[in-house]
Amino acid sequence: MAKQSRFLMGRSIDPNPLTGQESVTDLVDGAFHAYNAGRLREACHLFTQKMLSDDTTVGMSITGALTPAGLGMSSVIPLIESGFVDWIVSTGANLYHDAHFALGYSMHRGSPFTDDVTLRQEGVVRIYDILFDYAVLLRTDKFIRDVSLGSEFQRSMSTAEYHYLLGGYLKEREKALGLTHKSMLTAAHEYGVPIYTSSPGDSSIGMNVAELALEDRGLRFDVSADVNETAAIVLDAKRAGGKSGVLIVGGGSPKNFLLQTEPQIQEVLGIDEKGHDYFLQITDARPDTGGLSGATPAEAVSWGKVDPEQLPNAVVCYLDSTVALPILTSYALATRNLRKPRRLYDHRADCLARLKEEYLAAKAYRDARVGGAKLPGLDD
């Protein structure tokens, strides 16, 4: 018999019939063999077997209206509590709607085919098949404005600082209502997970902060601090002898903000680095229409976002996040021990100091031009 091709070394597709007694782990490992089910199996394995190693810092980006659908409570908060996510970049909208639950407000299942004119007349807001009272927006707005008037907010700050402070107030509201971790912001506050927003003005939180600016209040978002802090977190993970992994849920600005940490380190600051080590993305976008351009693992290598030597440690699942994320979370909780929280929020200043030190050294090297010699990419 001829020698078997190396391409035929994978496990044979020979699943057992489903019985209805399977766990999520059983389904992923035993029934998800090919196509995007196969990619989700690979994603679960990459996340649990490599990204959740003790030496890997995991950053997560969140886009799409996930928190109104309950994904914050069902999937993201358990990842935070388990130490499986160390820092987050989210749309402001997800954080705003996340706050509703901590304030005791409810979102309801509905139909995507409801007449929106009638909904408007009855004071009901629709997010596809999620329905809620318009008053929820007004009451959440008031809470955010009232909290943001506090003296500790009257300064320039990174969005991570703002969300940490806001999370503390939401935690107190949860406590008063007898609730526990209904909000990502409260869980992140408790576990020291910094949450950044790449476009802070693009949400109701930013809109309410903008109103306070008209009253000449001192609160301002420092977007440069966000850029440098996130880059510092990644650099510190690498310089401490560990690895950096990214879990990208959806796309948009948070996806790029998560990935641009490496170009910021290498391209802008001139610090010697190679890119993220692990890349896991759940998306329904396509690169050929521009929705995923520059962010497939291979393209990301060309930008310096992903270490080319680690390209095999990259998985893209072309799936609905609302289906894939709960499965990934459940699989991780079933197969991995909890990790000790890194509490990166508490260590931002130390990370930033290391980044600044390496930047100044790299800048001094460039300025010196190594005795007049040309530097590739700068003097060519």
- pLDDT tens per residue across span 314-334: 999 999 999 999 999 999 999
Q: Which of 171, 243, 255, 305 is catalytic?
A: 305
What pLDDT, on the 0 to 100 scale, is given for residue 291? 78
Token pair listed for 277:
């080590």
What pLDDT, on the 0 to 100 scale, is given for residue 285?
A: 87
Tokens of 337: 């021990």
Q: What is the pLDDT of residue 380?
A: 53
The residues spanned by each domain of the chain are 34-366
Which tens digits make up the pLDDT trace of 164-202? 999 999 999 999 999 999 999 999 999 999 999 999 999
Residue range 113-136: mean pLDDT, rounded: 97
Global pTM reads 0.94
Separation CA 275–CA 303 (nearest Å): 9
The yes/no answer on whether domain 34-366 falls in CATH 3.40.910.10 is yes
Mean per-residue pLDDT, 258-266: 95
Q: Are 199 and 221 in contact (CB under 8 A)?
A: no
Cα 7 versus chain centre, distance: 35
229 pLDDT tier (thresholds 50, 70, 90): very high
Which residues of the chain form beta strands (DSSP E)?
Answer: 56-62, 87-90, 108-109, 124-127, 130-133, 156-157, 195-196, 220-221, 243-249, 278-283, 314-318
- Using 50, 70 and 90 to split pLDDT, how confident is the model at 379? low
pLDDT reading at 305 higher than 90: no
Nearest to 107 by CA among 88, 81, 135, 146: 135
356 catalytic residue (yes or no)? no
